[in-house]
Amino acid sequence: MLAETTMKQARQPAKPKRTDVISEAIKEYIAQHQLKPGDRLPQEQELIQALDASKGTVREALKGLEAQGLVQTRTGPGGGAFISEVSDDRAMTLLGNYFFFHSPTIHNIYEARKALWPALVKSLEGVLDADAFDRLASVMTFYDHPPASLEEEREQRLKELEFHLVLIDYCPNPLLALMCRFPVRLLMNMTVCQRIYAQPNPELRRQGYDYQHQLLEALRKGDIELGCKIVSEHMQMAQTLMEAREAMLEKAFFKAGNDGAIDSNRDYLALTGYTQAKQLAEQNGGSNSLK
């Protein structure tokens, strides 16, 4: 009998915390009154009375909403709790927390991009104006030439990813835009990607630039079908090169010898390529030849 009672209790949904109930009530108030970013919520005492809650509970609820990016608390004269629009950075951070213990792989990211990017291109039909094309072309000037150092090459790679963020800025579908923006941010910030960008990869820059140039021309002409084909090929190319570099780094991690010194070398080796540079270093007595 006791076991049966325990099982019934276990099946019952957990009672929501009072703070969570108050947080949801405040969000409902915001929606019902159509409050916009910058609008102020009622004063604390009004919220306490309207919600029949203690001062501590209301303050805790507001802190929770502030952590979510929905509310911003200001102190001093004219202060209070104000409605805040959740920024892209905050949304990306919250999504990043979700993946904290099961981080997606480079393969996962590019499989998602191959599915999403044609839809992104389709959503841009008739949307891009002259200013948009100028903005995209301006970003491309950062990597339309071979880099002069490894640091510049890393910056070029980030700028190439920024090109995609600019495209996403013009996507009229906010859900699609969010779904596209997150994998780009992952490619910018994941540790394994940062390690890849620290090594010369001239083919990724050259082919990436060529594909983006072709995409811009297709979009200028309004040829969406061609644009979809171009981004599909672009994503496949990038996936192949990124996964190859990832595999190279994994092998270097487990291999004994001077590979680690070569991996950490900061001299510019992009024109010879990593493999050729490694062979040259070995022929000349190890990592000292790279200094």
What is the predicted pLDDT for the residue at 10?
A: 53
What is the predicted pLDDT for the residue at 254?
A: 62
Contact (Cβ atoms closer than 8 angstroms) between residue 22 and residue 53: yes
Tokens of 276: 């050729």
What is the predicted pLDDT for the residue at 44?
A: 85
What are residue 82's DSSP bridge partners? 40, 72
Hey, what long-range contacts does 43-48 have (CB within 8 A, 24 or more apart)? 43/80, 44/80, 44/81
Q: Residues 102-156: pLDDT tens digits? A: 889 999 999 999 999 999 999 999 999 999 999 999 999 999 999 999 999 999 9
Three-state DSSP class for residue 119: helix
What is the predicted pLDDT for the residue at 275?
A: 45
What is the predicted pLDDT for the residue at 263?
A: 40
Tokens of 271: 């024109």
The CA distance from 165 to 181, in Å, is 6
Q: Can you list the domains of the chain with their CATH numbers?
A: 15-83 (1.10.10.10), 90-254 (1.20.120.530)
Q: Which amino acid is at 107?
A: H
Closest CA to 197 of 160, 234, 240: 160
Q: Which amino acid is at 262?
A: I
What is the predicted pLDDT for the residue at 255?
A: 60
CA dist list (Å): 160 to 63, 165, 211: 38, 9, 11
Q: Which residues of the chain have pLDDT under 50?
A: 256-278, 280-281, 286-291
What is the predicted pLDDT for the residue at 256?
A: 43
- Give me the torsion for CA of 103, 105, 111, 117, rounded to 10°: 70
What is the predicted pLDDT for the residue at 260?
A: 42
What is the predicted pLDDT for the residue at 12?
A: 61
What is the predicted pLDDT for the residue at 98?
A: 83
What is the predicted pLDDT for the residue at 277?
A: 44
The CA distance from 35 to 40, in Å, is 8
What is the predicted pLDDT for the residue at 125?
A: 96
What is the predicted pLDDT for the residue at 209?
A: 98
Number of H helices, E strands in the chain: 14, 2
pTM, rounded to two decimals:
0.72
Contact (Cβ atoms closer than 8 angstroms) between residue 148 and residue 200: no
What is the predicted pLDDT for the residue at 268?
A: 35
